[in-house]
Amino acid sequence: MQELILKDKAILIADAHENTQRRGFWKFLQALKNNEISTPQLILMGDIFDLLIGEISATHDFAKPYIYLLEELAQTIEIIYLEGNHDFNLSCFFKKVKIFPIKTQPLKLKLHTSKVKNENSYIFLAHGDIFLSPCLQILLKSLRNHYLLVFLNWINQISFHAISKKILKNQNQKNLFYQIQNFENLANERYLKYNNLGSWVCEGHYHQNFILNKKNIKYFNPDSFAHKESFFLVEFKQEIEFREQKLRGQNV
């Protein structure tokens, strides 16, 4: 596979949790299409939808306009989509968008720019639901099983979408914006699991808008886009920087 490169002015979006009640990500895509926001590279850090699974048909109609628009944008923008724990088995939807399931995460991108002191450094990207306890890893792997999902889809259909409706209802009631106490300790623990001291690690999933930039620990957890409709612009100066921008500040 061709080595992936993190581009200057790339945009990172994590945890949009898009659903019928929350349409900020749709506004963002429209802004991209209308050139009100520009970037050479869009990186979606997972959980972009509250529920989008290849085998579960209930939310496919809702997602179709997003899929078509992402594929259209991918003709001129490199779009990388890291699957999360709410959106996975997505390869059936996309041809031009580059999909990376949990088994291929973390994704390693080279920081290829003369502006950064160490041109050979890398950034590691993941949704954040990796390096968990063995029990959780087995559970997450089983939930992605094609045959189990086909069976669950059948149950969902004959029950008039009772399962998917319950999941979406719970997501609408869930607090996506809580602060994790002592998150710096968790960030340190998470970082060490990547075994790449000195390189950047960027994870979604936790919704904390937290950055840790020390000599050997460089960790970034973006805010949930669903919180303030904020995304992060990557800028290469003396070192990599993540600049928060809010969709509401754009002319959309």
pLDDT value at residue 193: 93
pLDDT at position 118, please?
A: 55
**φ and ψ at 37, to 5 degrees?**
-125, 140
In the three-class reduction of DSSP (H, G, I as helix; E, B as strand; rest coil), residue 79 is classed as: strand
* pLDDT for the residue 252: 41
Structure tokens at 118: 């160490």
Q: State the Cα–Cα distance between residues 18 and 189, nearest whole angstrom.
A: 29
pLDDT at 115: 55
pLDDT at 141: 85
For the stretch 156-203, pLDDT in tens is 999 999 999 999 999 988 888 889 999 999 999 999 999 888 899 999
Amino acid at 113: T
Task: Give the residues of the chain that fall short of pLDDT 50.
Answer: 1, 119, 250-252
> Can you tell me the distance from the alpha carbon of 231 to that of 212, in angstroms, rounded to the nearest whole number?
18
**Model confidence, pTM:** 0.93
Span between the terminal Cα atoms of the chain, in Å: 37
